[in-house]
Amino acid sequence: MHDVDALLREYDRARAYTDQLWKDLSPDEITWRPHENSSAIGWHLGHQAHVAHFMVRNLTAAEPSPDPELDGLMDSANPEEFRGALPTVERLTAFRQTVAERVHARMSAIAGGRVGAPGQLAIVATHLLTALVNHEYQHDQWIGEVRAQALGHALPPDPDTGQVCRLDGYLVLAPLG
């Protein structure tokens, strides 16, 4: 099992890779949708953070959403046509940053034993962080495809870590063993 601190570094690395996929794009490229039933890159950015918040909230610590107005918009259970307009790039960036800070705070508290049931939550935290890293990369695949194929931008190299590999074309946290 990976330890929580190492997984937090992988989470940061995955988020940094995501940033390489979108930070040089224009606001129009971030909000552009390939077709009416397709999500924009900006939606995927918000969704990645939305899932991270809800996983941490539901599995380790009940806390309010950092931006409740985005909850319905970024929920993949809501069909595309009912999600509404994307927020500004600045708001998406702030949402992603706040969620990442909260993930770090909660996972660091767990790793430091500053929670009830520290042993049990350490196991939950390792699986949760593995899922967050893999979910980040899952949506990076789509972002990368739109970036390269539809928008004509080069892709950055895969993250430089021995902990990530490609499986079925997707970057994933390498399984142990």
**pLDDT exceeds 50 at position 21:** yes
Exposure string for 2-36, b = 16+ CB within 10 A, e = fewer: bebeebbbbbebbbebbeebbeebeeebbbbbeee
pLDDT of res. 2: 61
| SS3 label, residue 173 | strand
Contact partners, residue 104, CB within 8 Å, separation at least 6: 8
> In the prediction, which pLDDT does 134 show?
97
Half-sphere exposure of 117 (CA within 13 A, CB side): 8
pLDDT of residue 174: 81
111 within 8 A of 3, measured Cβ to Cβ: yes
| Lowest mean pLDDT, pick from 8-17, 36-45, 91-100 | 36-45
Q: Which of 10-14, 47-51, 173-177 has the lowest mean pLDDT?
A: 173-177
The widest CA-to-CA distance across the chain, in whole angstroms, is 50
Average pLDDT over residues 27-32: 96
Superfamily of domain 4-173: dinb family like domain (1.20.120.450)
- 1 has a pLDDT exceeding 50: no
Q: Taking residues 68-80, what's their average pLDDT?
A: 89
**pTM score of the predicted model:** 0.94
